[in-house]
Amino acid sequence: MPDARLLAGAITVLGASAAGLGVPAATPRPPEVTQTPTFDAPPHTLPEALRRWLDTAHHGLIQRAETACFVASGRLRVGRSPWLPVAYRTVHELGHSFAADITATWYGRPVLRAQDGFVDRRGVAAVRGEVTVGPGLDQSAVSFLWSEAILIPASWTLPGVTFKQIEADHVLVQVRSDADVAGPLSAHLRFDAETGLPRSFSVPWRARGSEGVDGAPWSVEYLDWSPAERGLAPTQSIVQWGDERRPWLRLRLQPPVLNVPVTDQLHQIRTLLESGEQG
């Protein structure tokens, strides 16, 4: 997910007419999947909070999945800018890599595209043709990757991912630095005590910018869980830096689609990464 500061060029592009910013962006169409889903029973090692989530939202079963796609529309702000309407899509090779695409719109028409991703343990972002790489993007991409992947129960059983229940409504999520999946990570999942569904994913520090020197706490809220094809899924998310008074991204989410093709999108991210590393 591109840092809001990397999208500052959108102000120049979209600032000509505030009226155009009031037209919502269209939600991208999710890919169609014809594969018949298969399911597994959860491992006995899952903490109680995850088991309750699985029972409530997924009928107590884990759908087998290696990839996933999220699509949404929403609003993004840069600093004190007006909210910018955006269309949003990410694809994941679960726990390993992702490719994200955010398109800002004006009167509903795309005017600015930002891409970012994480492949081969490296993060990259591209806005208006300017490609950025660096240790800060490597670190911040891991936090973002897991903030979405954690919504797919198949990611819970990947090697190197561990959970520790701190309280009835609080689980610590950890990924070792030497794990086969994206890491390291130490994050907090907090749950609604009444429903048992997750309400937030947070990390105590996430890099802000490419150098990895500046950073702050960072969180994603999951709101309005509603019926989906095979259970429940959040229909809204709110993303916020801990040192800011307001969120910088609000999304209206479609249910994630599992086992989708991701090769082309991840290839684009690798191409951007190579371009950024070559300067």
What is the CATH number for 141? Answer: 2.50.20.10
Residue 21 has what pLDDT? 64
pLDDT digits (tens, 9 = 90+) for 205-247: 999 989 988 999 999 999 999 999 889 999 999 999 999 999 9
Q: Which residue has the tokens 């809001």?
A: 4
pLDDT digits (tens, 9 = 90+) for 100-151: 999 988 888 888 899 999 999 999 999 988 999 999 999 999 999 999 999 9
Residue 80 has what pLDDT? 74
Residue 24: DSSP 8-state? P
* Residue 176 dihedral angles phi and psi, to the nearest 5°: -70, 150
Q: Is 202 a member of any domain? A: yes
pLDDT digits (tens, 9 = 90+) for 34-90: 789 999 999 999 999 999 999 999 999 999 999 999 999 999 987 777 888 999 999
Closest CA to 204 of 249, 174, 248: 174
Q: Residue 114: is it exposed, middle or buried by C-beta count within 10 angstroms (0-12/13-18/19+)?
A: buried
Residue 16 has what pLDDT? 47
Cis bond leading into 30, ω under 30°? no
Q: Is 94 a member of any domain? A: yes
Closest CA to 111 of 1, 28, 15: 15
Domain containing 248: what range?
A: 4-32+43-277
Q: Is 38 a member of any domain? A: no
Please state the pTM of the whole predicted model: 0.93
Give the length of the chain: 279
Q: Is 111 a member of any domain? A: yes
CA-CA distance, 200 to 191, in Å (whole number)?
7
Q: Is 131 a member of any domain? A: yes
User: From the CB of residue 19, how many other CB atoms can be counted at a distance below 10 Å?
Assistant: 9
Q: Is 37 a member of any domain? A: no
Coil, helix or strand at residue 270: helix
* Residue 84 dihedral angles phi and psi, to the nearest 5°: -105, 130
Number of domains observed in the structure of the chain? 1
